[in-house]
Amino acid sequence: MNLSPATALFPPDWRAALDACGFVPEGVVFRQNGLVFRPTDRWLVWETSVPEASPDAVAFGQPGLWRRLAKDEDACLCFEVPAKAVARAEAAAADACAPGLPAFLEWARESALGHLPAGWRPPPRDAVLGWLPSEALTWRGGPFVRQGEVLLDPGRWAFRFPILPRLPDDLPPVREQFLHSLCRDAMVRWRMVRVGVTAVEGGRALIAEVDLSGAPPVAPLVLASLDGLKYVVAWVVEAAELLADVSVTLRVLETVGLRTPNERTEP
């Protein structure tokens, strides 16, 4: 079997876990039915195809880290976990029942089907808050401040930051188009985080969210999630605020209109 530098350094127990879950090595990846697992030195990546009936939308509320990403001319569903989060979770626990790669494999596999791992329960709120540094749920950048929240109920565990807490009802279609394009670019650039428009009480909001529903309850994963969320908010918020401000004239949008990217590159 040909191995990449990352798989060559794979811990032996991780190889055993992949074998036990039915993943078959194929070059530098492992396959199990339609699920592809690709380990790298920094990230553990799962990919699968997009169901034909799947709408072109961000799947807020779906358990796990699955995000729809454009890949060349096609799209795929992608699930990414920091390799260090798995290794640190194993190293930090003193007992043999520490949640290691098998728990993450089950999380990815079950959430790809829209399920939670059997018997999964979210961690207690006090435990989650105890993992957070001071002001971990507050982001500040220039004139902008955003307050995140922890979403916890019997079948849900997520962290969410509002990028635009309320979108204007009269947002022009061209601005809506560019806002969605900005969200897609953010998800390509930043891992783990879903970014998009969702319904909220009284209207719609632009949010960034990491859904840990089904995840092993380990602090390193929580901290990585919050880091990713803050990077996304910082990258998106200023452009999103400008696009949503209908009092500001953006002549470039009027020029481009609602043409497709291919049409915009034609002479």
Amino acid sitting at position 52: E
∠ at Cα 111 (193, 214), nearest 5°? 80
- Look at residues 210, 228, 207 and name the one whose alpha carbon lies nearest to residue 67: 210
* Cα dihedral sign, 119-120-122-128: positive
- Look at residues 135, 151, 139 and name the one whose alpha carbon lies nearest to residue 237: 139
pTM of the prediction? Answer: 0.86
Averages of pLDDT over runs of 10 residues in the chain (267 residues) are 48 84 90 91 90 62 90 79 84 61 92 93 94 94 95 95 95 90 92 94 95 93 95 97 85 57 39
Q: Provide the β-strand partners of residue 146.
A: 139
- For residue 90, the model assigns a pLDDT of 73
The residue whose two tokens read 């207690």 is 124
- For residue 7, the model assigns a pLDDT of 52
- For residue 243, the model assigns a pLDDT of 93
Q: Provide the β-strand partners of residue 207.
A: 162, 196
- For residue 54, the model assigns a pLDDT of 57
- For residue 92, the model assigns a pLDDT of 62
Rounded Cα distance, 64 and 45, in Å: 13
- For residue 95, the model assigns a pLDDT of 53
- For residue 260, the model assigns a pLDDT of 41
Q: Quote the tokens at residue 126.
A: 């006090």
